[in-house]
Structure formats: structure tokens, C-alpha cells
């Protein structure tokens, strides 16, 4: 079909000034996204930043939250009007973030759009989001997101095809103008890739042994279909292993964030008498994970360290790993493992996009963030299903409990007590006052003593990417102590209301006899020092954090 004969409209529009992508895409309330032209402007800004859309392939999907389906129809029509050749869209509009990354790579697509606000609540009063991924399958790096933001402030029009909605619930190919829309199975490609990474036979033997019970909570978000297909149908776990496995537009009214606070139903099951052996949950778009044992919680930082230490049990890594990377606020537990294994360990700013270059350059194989995210070089996003399977593979190979594996790890490498305190929805000026107050003190912190604790240095983290030499500065205040303990403070880049202060606390404990304390108790001195230096309670007017993980 000739483009002239297509029913393409060029719609006049005015720029919005608030379309700067944050840590992970553009996140706003559904109401903001539903303003006339708001979504369209942002999508056109993305398209305008590509050298050309003509002849390109886009992968499109989302976590199924409210407004997912409408947004997909709009983007399909815009892709057609802008000259894309092919859009691969997840059936029903469903594609988890890791599955999208997998599909982009597998089919050598040029880019991807993921409709998700990750772990933020959904529904008409909840949040919506748009993430843009590049051809390596990973989140667009800062230079791209900044270019999109710049474009969004200049944009005066967008292009859209006038046409009826497409049926996105039927697998197969349909034309939309000159565009070919291919509705694909949401799970199959990702499952196939995971089968190539892990020992599915060994995991299947564990899950069907009758001696091992697992409980997975999809929190009514995107991982339900993946979990049903992989854990129950393929690996033989009894039906009922997967809870809340049907994606709902409002996530059942819950907060799809896999942590001890928001995944409380799973936590109750796993901390009851006669609890299952293994529990796990994922977030809205399937890139996060929480790992639990019978009456036992594994911190995400420990999870990364344990994965690194046990990599030879995983078929894909049986011959070794290139290195490991963690975000700056993530505990240094993985560093100790890397040191012993004599592989590199990288410290990057918060956000998965900083791992992409390291993975592409084969400098790192495994990556992790304290925010319940672990993943690897099989794709360019963190991967909840991969993380669960990694643990299942370790459990199947070692035939020990989760708790035994973690405790043995602490005995070998020492324990990094770790916690994050979030002060959510703080007035923006108050939150900035805390950060500015700390920044102002940084040069005078060295050598200051608080009881036993002496500050080794304080700085505002700056990262120079070892591959492309790009610099990202002001990535969070770090206060390091001479014994390896740390206080880190930064503002969230994913919130949609006010500002969220994240305070990260870490104390290293090599003494085997002192590895069984309660985390908050072991960190109590550091919590006090953080408040003394940051005046958090006074400046925010809050007497305690909103969420402790």
C-alpha cells in the first residue's frame, strides 16, 4: 500500500514539560497519561529520536495494568503512521519486562516499548508508565532518554493512523496499513531461553519429588502466565503452587512489589508453622523477585552474592563468569565473592540501564540491585523468573535448605547486615533539604568518630562507564566507615507523588558468633548516625520510615 493512500493524521499538539524519564522510564498517574495527547507526544518523541522508523521492527507489550490495552492500540496506530515495518506485540498486550528484552534480542528487533509502572499500584487511580528499550534489549541509556526528553519539550505534532482497534488476543499476523502486526505468545520465547540456561531436569526432579514444596505469588501481575507455564506445566510443580496468577488491571488492589511489606500473604505462608521449603514473588512487570525459605528471608544483596558463589551449578555458567556488577546502594556481599573468585566486580549507579554496557562488553555476567532485582547476560533486563529458577537450580543441586545455604555463605564470606529505609511521599523541598544538608557536610566527614565507628570518606557517587566513558554524577551520598560499614542516601527516581528518600544501611560482620542478630538491631548505631548527620526525622517531620526492607 502506498503511504499516500493511508489514512494518516498529523495531529497538532503542544509540548508537556514533565516528560523526563526517571530511573526506569516515564512514570505518571493514569490520569496524567490519559490527558489528551500526553501518551502520543511521548511516543512520538521516542520515534523522532530514532534515526528512522521506516522498515524497523518494534516489540510492544506491557504488564496488563489499567490503560495497557488502550495504550497498545494507540502505539500500534502511531507505529503504522510513522513507517515501522513490523510490531511484535504480546498476546493480550502482555509481555513481562524480561520477556520483552528476550524477544528484542531473539528476533533482532530494533527497539521495544514496555507499558508498565513496575511495582507501583495500578488501576484508574494508580500509575502507568512507558519504558523504551534499545536493540540490545536493555533500557535506553541516559543519553537516549535525555534526547527523548528534549524532543518532548519541542514537539508540535504527532502522526497516527485512523483505523479501528486491532484484535490483540489472537496469535498471528495482521496488517495495519503498511505495518505488519504480529501477535506473539507472551511466554514461549522467554521460557525457551530459560530452558537453555538452567538444568530443567534437575529442577523438575526436585519439584516432583514430593519432598519439596514451593509457593510462588504473582501478586495478580504479569508473571502469572509465566509461572503457570514454567513451574506448574513444564516443571511439574503441583497446581496451586502459583498464587494470584491471573494478571488483573488493578493487581487486585494490591501493591505489586515483592518485599516483606507488600507481599504479605506470601510472607504469612512462608513464616507459618509447616511452611513450604521455598517461596518467591515478582513485581508488576516481572523483573523483580523476592526469595524466601521456610521461615527465612534472603536479602536481595545476599541473593546476588550467593548466585555468584554458586554459579558453577548453573549449566550456562559451569565454565565460569566474566564478572559481577551491583548498583552502588546494594551491599558489598557480592564484592567479597568476586574477590575470592578473582573476577571483576563493578559498582554502578541505581537502575538496570547501567549494566547494559558491562554485559554487552562481557565484563560482567551476573548483575543485581538491592531493590529485589537480579539478572544476567541472557537478556538486558533484570529477570524475576530467571532469579527464581536460579535458586531452584541451586536448591536442586545442593539438596540443602535455603537457610542452610545462606548461613553457610555467611560463615564463608561474612555477613553483610543490610536494610533500606524508605520515607515515601515526602514534600519535595524537605527531601531535597536532607540531601543538600548531607552534601554540604561531605568534605568534613573524614575521620569523624561516632563511638566505635569512624568515617573513612563521604562523597556523592559519580560513575564513569568503563565502556563508553560517559559520566553520571550526583548518584547518591555515600558515607563509608573504616570497618566497611556504609550509609547511603539518595532520592528515588521512580515515584510519582512528592519525593521518596531512600536510606541504605550496611554493616559487615565477619565474626561467626555475631551473625545471628536481628538486622535492625545490628544496624541500630548506623541508623542513629544517619539521622544525626542527615537530620532526616527533623527535616521530613516523620518519626519513622514508611517502608523498611
Active site residues: 118
> Which residues of the chain form contacts with Zn ion (CB under 5 A)?
118, 283, 285, 287-288
287 versus 465: smaller Cβ distance to Zn ion: 287
Q: Which does 549 bind (CB under 5 to 8 A by kind): Zn ion, ligand G1P, none?
A: none
24 versus 310: smaller Cβ distance to ligand G1P: 24
Q: Which does 100 bind (CB under 5 to 8 A by kind): ligand G1P, Zn ion, none?
A: none
Cβ pair 314, 197 in contact under 8 A: yes
Smallest separation (angstroms) from ligand G1P to the CB of 390: 18
110 versus 287: smaller Cβ distance to Zn ion: 287
Pick the binder of ligand G1P from 352, 355, 390, 504 (CB under 6 A).
352
Pick the binder of ligand G1P from 371, 374, 419, 540 (CB under 6 A).
371
- What's the full length of the chain, in residues? 549
Smallest separation (angstroms) from ligand G1P to the CB of 382: 7
- What is the enclosing helix (H) or strand (E) of 204? helix 200-207
Cβ pair 488, 481 in contact under 8 A: no
3-class DSSP state of 489 = strand
Residue partners of 241: CB distance under 8 A and separation at least 6? 207, 214, 215, 216, 227, 231, 232
Cβ pair 324, 366 in contact under 8 A: yes
Per-residue CA distances from 188 to 26, 28, 57 (Å): 28, 31, 19
- Alpha-carbon gap, residue 319 to 311, rounded angstroms: 9
- Alpha-carbon gap, residue 283 to 374, rounded angstroms: 13
Q: Nearest-5° angle of CA 331, CA 334, CA 338?
A: 145
The interaxial angle of helices 402-413 and 333-341, nearest 10 deg, is: 70
Segment 287 to 346, residues that bind ligand G1P, using CB under 6 A: 327
User: Of 260-268, 348-356, 473-481, 531-539, which part binds ligand G1P (CB under 6 A)?
Assistant: 348-356
15 versus 493: smaller Cβ distance to ligand G1P: 493
- Alpha-carbon gap, residue 93 to 70, rounded angstroms: 10
Q: By CB under 6 A, is residue 350 in contact with ligand G1P?
A: yes
Q: Which does 465 bind (CB under 5 to 8 A by kind): ligand G1P, Zn ion, none?
A: none
User: Of 36-44, 206-214, 369-377, 477-485, which part binds ligand G1P (CB under 6 A)?
Assistant: 369-377
140 versus 523: smaller Cβ distance to Zn ion: 140
* DSSP structure class, residue 447: T
Closest C-alpha among 472, 243, 519 to residue 370: 519
Per-residue CA distances from 330 to 75, 301, 366, 416, 422 (Å): 36, 6, 14, 10, 15
Smallest separation (angstroms) from Zn ion to the CB of 213: 27
| Number of residues near ligand G1P (by CB under 6 A) | 14
Pick the binder of ligand G1P from 68, 118, 186, 357 (CB under 6 A).
118
Pick the binder of ligand G1P from 64, 122, 177, 351 (CB under 6 A).
351
User: Of 271-279, 297-305, 347-355, 536-544, which part binds ligand G1P (CB under 6 A)?
Assistant: 347-355
User: Of 68-76, 368-376, 391-399, 531-539, which part binds ligand G1P (CB under 6 A)?
Assistant: 368-376
Smallest separation (angstroms) from ligand G1P to the CB of 280: 17
- Alpha-carbon gap, residue 249 to 284, rounded angstroms: 10
- Alpha-carbon gap, residue 488 to 469, rounded angstroms: 24
Q: By CB under 6 A, is residue 97 in contact with ligand G1P?
A: no
Smallest separation (angstroms) from Zn ion to the CB of 285: 4
207 versus 503: smaller Cβ distance to ligand G1P: 503
25 versus 293: smaller Cβ distance to Zn ion: 25
Q: By CB under 6 A, is residue 476 in contact with ligand G1P?
A: no
- Alpha-carbon gap, residue 117 to 283, rounded angstroms: 10
Q: Which does 285 bind (CB under 5 to 8 A by kind): ligand G1P, Zn ion, none?
A: Zn ion
| DSSP codes joined into one string, 222-256 | THHHHHIIIIIIIT-PPTTSEES-S--TTGGGS--
Helices (H), 342-488: 356-360, 384-398, 402-413, 428-441
Smallest separation (angstroms) from ligand G1P to the CB of 502: 5
List the beta bridge partners of residue 502. Answer: 422, 490
Q: By CB under 6 A, is residue 502 in contact with ligand G1P?
A: yes
Q: By CB under 6 A, is residue 262 in contact with ligand G1P?
A: no
- Alpha-carbon gap, residue 391 to 219, rounded angstroms: 20
Q: By CB under 6 A, is residue 24 in contact with ligand G1P?
A: yes
Residues forming contacts to ligand G1P in the complex (CB under 6 A) are 23-24, 118, 327, 350-352, 369, 371, 373, 492-494, 502
Amino acid at each position: 500500500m502506498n503511504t499516500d493512500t493511508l489514512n494518516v493524521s498529523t495531529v497538532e499538539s503542544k509540548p508537556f514539560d514533565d516528560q523526563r524519564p526517571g530511573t526506569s522510564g516515564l512514570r505518571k498517574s493514569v490520569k496524567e497519561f490519559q490527558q489528551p495527547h500526553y501518551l502520543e507526544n511521548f511516543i512520538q518523541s521516542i520515534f523522532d529520536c530514532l534515526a528512522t522508523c521506516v522498515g524497523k521492527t518494534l516489540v510492544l507489550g506491557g504488564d496488563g495494568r489499567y490503560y495497557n490495552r488502550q495504550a497498545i492500540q494507540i502505539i500500534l496506530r502511531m507505529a503504522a503512521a510513522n513507517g515501522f515495518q513490523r510490531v511484535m506485540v504480546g498476546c493480550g498486550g502482555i509481555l513481562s519486562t524480561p520477556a520483552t528484552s528476550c524477544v528484542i534480542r531473539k528476533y533482532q528487533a530494533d527497539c521495544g516499548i514496555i507499558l508498565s509502572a513496575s511495582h507501583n499500584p495500578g488501576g484508574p487511580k494508580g500509575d502507568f508508565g512507558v519504558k523504551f528499550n534499545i536493540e540490545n534489549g536493555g533500557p535506553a541509556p541516559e543519553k537516549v532518554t535525555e534526547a527523548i526528553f528534549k524532543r518532548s519539550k519541542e514537539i508540535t505534532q504527532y502522526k497516527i493512523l485512523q483505523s479501528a482497534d486491532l484484535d490483540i488476543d489472537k496469535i498471528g499476523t495482521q496488517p495495519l496499513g503498511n505495518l505488519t502486526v504480529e501477535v506473539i505468545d507472551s511466554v514461549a520465547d522467554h521460557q525457551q531461553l530459560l530452558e537453555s540456561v538452567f538444568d530443567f531436569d534437575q529442577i523438575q526432579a526436585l519439584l516432583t519429588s514430593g519432598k519439596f514444596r514451593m509457593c510462588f505469588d504473582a501478586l495478580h501481575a504479569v508473571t502469572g502466565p509465566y509461572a503457570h507455564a514454567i513451574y506448574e506445566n513444564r516443571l511439574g510443580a503441583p497446581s496451586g503452587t502459583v498464587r494470584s496468577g491471573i494478571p488483573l488491571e488493578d493487581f487486585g488492589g494490591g501493591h505489586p512489589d515483592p518485599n516483606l511489606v507488600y507481599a504479605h500473604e506470601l510472607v504469612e505462608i512462608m513464616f507459618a508453622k509447616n511452611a513450604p521449603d521455598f517461596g518467591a514473588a515478582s513485581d508488576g512487570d516481572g523483573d523483580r523477585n523476592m526469595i524466601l525459605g521456610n521461615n527465612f528471608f534472603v536479602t536481595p544483596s545476599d541473593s546476588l552474592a550467593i548466585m555468584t558463589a554458586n554459579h558453577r551449578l548453573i549449566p550456562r555458567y559451569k565454565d565460569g563468569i566474566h564478572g559481577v556488577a551491583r548498583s552502588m546502594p546494594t551491599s558489598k556481599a557480592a564484592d567479597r565473592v568476586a574477590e575470592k573468585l578473582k573476577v571483576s566486580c563493578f559498582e554502578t549507579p541505581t537502575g538496570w540501564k547501567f549494566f547494559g554496557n558491562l554485559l554487552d562488553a562481557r565484563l560482567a555476567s551476573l548483575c543485581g540491585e538491592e531493590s529485589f532485582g537480579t539478572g544476567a547476560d541472557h537478556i538486558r533486563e533484570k529477570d524475576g523468573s530467571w532469579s527464581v529458577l536460579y535458586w531452584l537450580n541451586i536448591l536442586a543441586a545442593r539438596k540443602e535448605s535455603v537457610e542452610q545455604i545462606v548461613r553457610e555463605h555467611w560463615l564463608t564470606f561474612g555477613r553483610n547486615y543490610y536494610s533500606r529505609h524508605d520515607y515515601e511521599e515526602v514534600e519535595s523541598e524537605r527531601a531535597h533539604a536532607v540531601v543538600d544538608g548531607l552534601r554540604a557536610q561531605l568534605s568534613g566527614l573524614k575521620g569523624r568518630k561516632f563511638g566505635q565507628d569512624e568515617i573513612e570518606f563521604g562523597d556523592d557517587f559519580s560513575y564513569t562507564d568503563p565502556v563508553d566513558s560517559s559520566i553520571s554524577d550526583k548518584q547518591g551520598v555515600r558515607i563509608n566507615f573504616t570497618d566497611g560499614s556504609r550509609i547511603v542516601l539518595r532520592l528515588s527516581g521512580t515515584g510519582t507523588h512528592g519525593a521518596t528518600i531512600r536510606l541504605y544501611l550496611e554493616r559487615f560482620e565477619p565474626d561467626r558468633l555475631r551473625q545471628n542478630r536481628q538486622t535492625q538491631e545490628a544496624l541500630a548505631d548506623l541508623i542513629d548516625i544517619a539521622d544525626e548527620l542527615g537530620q532526616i526525622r527533623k527535616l521530613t517531620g516523620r518519626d519513622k520510615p514508611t517502608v523498611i526492607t
